[in-house]
Amino acid sequence: MVMRSVILIPRLMLHSVRPISLLQQLPKSQYILAPQLSRTLYLNQALCSPHVADDNTNKTIDEMVSDRIEDIKSGKFQKMKDPQKLKHFRTPPNVDAAHSLDPTMVPKDGATTDGSYTLPHPIWSTKEVHSVKVTHKTPKGLLDWFAYLTIKSLRVSYDLVSGYNRRTRDEALWLNRIVFLETVAGVPGMVAAMVRHLHSLRKMRRDHGWIHTLLEEAENERMHLMTALQLKNPSLMFKGVVLAAQGAFVTWFGIFYLIAPRYCHRFVGYLEEEAVRTYTKCLKDIEDGAISHWKTKPAPQIAVNYWNLAPTATMKDVILAIRADEAHHRVVNHTLASMNKDDFNPYKPGE
């Protein structure tokens, strides 16, 4: 029996593009002899669940996270494509540079000639942007509580220093807050992706599909920043504060991601809970506060292109789209924090 299993393992590796059919042919004893390999092959198909952006339903964060984990465990996910059939393997080398390999990455108006390309990301419907709720995942265990309390203390301190609850929340206050926080929010995804990338190189093991989601999150946050910068020109002092904050945060997050990646994803999950709370308040100030002119202020062109907004879109539409992104990061990070670091990422590109 042992001999048959030894022979079988290389056969499985050769056929890893069709793992389930092979596993189904395995006698039970051989499955038990190679449990780690079998599990890896089984999860090889767990690139995604069929749901897109299910963060904007009425479910709680706990329910959405458990749904994702259950999807993986029960096998309810799409099958991995045969790599040889993926589009980029067949694209001729002299393809027009203005055409991305993935049509979803190219704005329909052909605005690609300036070299602007973005990674795939969700495009929200009107119903989705309006259905985002402020939610909270109850901390379970020491790491969760540590992450939650870290975020809460950072939030209280920043609110105090920026006068968020004391001053009139006018356009200047909102732009200062959005620009500063988005320079911070773009850090975790990039650092986490880098750590996992280097880990994969160093340990000579695959990443299990997390890196693309982390990079997409980092770029999405940077696009929030690029959009806000259309309305604000930061001073030298502002840039100095951002420089100091970035130096400290990159160092701190990088070290913690090496030691405790689950803590870091939970930390980002709670950070995103606060981001949703903040943008919800921003929308309230647009409705009946000091920035009601954002109801009619035209959206910057960069935002119209990125979120595929109507040409008549306003700043309110932009904030609704940003809030939907933050709600998406919230459930993605809480999900990643509830998984083992060697589990397959259930989010496929653009989800």
C-beta separation of 55 from 137 below 8 A: no
CA separation for the pair 272, 168 (Å, rounded): 24
Task: Match 């306003």 to its residue by tokens.
Answer: 314
Q: Which stretch binds Fe ion (CB under 5 A): 24-32, 229-237, 272-280, 311-319?
A: 272-280
CB nearer Fe ion, residue 326 or residue 343: 326
Task: Kindly provide the residue ranges of all beta strands, DSSP E only, lying in the chain, ordered along the sequence.
Answer: none
Query: Partners of 298 in the beta sheet?
Result: 314
Spell out, one character per residue from 175 to 194, where the chain touches Fe ion: x when CB under 5 A holds, - when not: -------x--x---------
Residue 221 interacting with Fe ion (CB under 5 A):
yes
197 token code pair: 């990338």
Question: Of the candidates 224, 316, 323, 348, which one interacts with Fe ion according to CB under 5 A?
Answer: 224
Structure tokens at 122: 């969700």
| CA dist., res. 254 & res. 105, Å (int) | 29
Q: Identify which of residues 47 and 319 has a Cβ nearer to Fe ion in the complex.
A: 319
CA distance 59 to 116: 36
Rounded Cα distance, 150 and 121, in Å: 29
CA–CA dist 98, 91 (Å, integer):
14
265 binds Fe ion (CB under 5 A): no
Residue 21-60 contact track with Fe ion, rule CB under 5 A, x = bound = ----------------------------------------
- Which x/- pattern over 130-169 shows residues binding Fe ion (rule: CB under 5 A)? ----------------------------------------
Q: Smallest distance from the beta carbon of 347 to Fe ion, in angstroms? A: 14
Q: Pattern of binders to Fe ion over 292-331, x per CB under 5 A?
A: ----------------------------------x--x--
* Residue count of the chain: 351
Sites of contact with Fe ion (CB under 5 A): 182, 185, 221, 224, 272, 326, 329
